[in-house]
Amino acid sequence: MKIYKNAVMTDRAFMHFDNIQHISWNYHEDYVEVKVYSGVGNPIIKQISSKDLDKLVNRYAKYTGVELN
């Protein structure tokens, strides 16, 4: 998964952050399974590192204007 300033790209799709409804994840021993949901049906499911998950969530939060305390 490539994580851009305002989009993500996988081997299946390129999705602008505007089209993301929500992101969920599940930690495993060696990877994190991430599901990126949009309004088109099934989520995009990818295995990424916890470092990439942090990058994705931080960029998505910044893009959407979500601020941490």
φ/ψ region of 26 (left if φ > 0, alpha if ψ in -120 to 50, else beta) reads beta
Beta strands 32-37 and 22-27 are antiparallel
Task: Convert the pLDDT of each residue in 3-22 to its tens digit.
Answer: 999 999 988 889 999 999 99
Task: Convert the pLDDT of each residue in 17-36 to its tens digit.
Answer: 999 999 999 999 999 999 99
Q: Which residues contact 4 (CB under 8 A, 6 or more apart)?
A: 59
Q: The pTM is what? A: 0.88
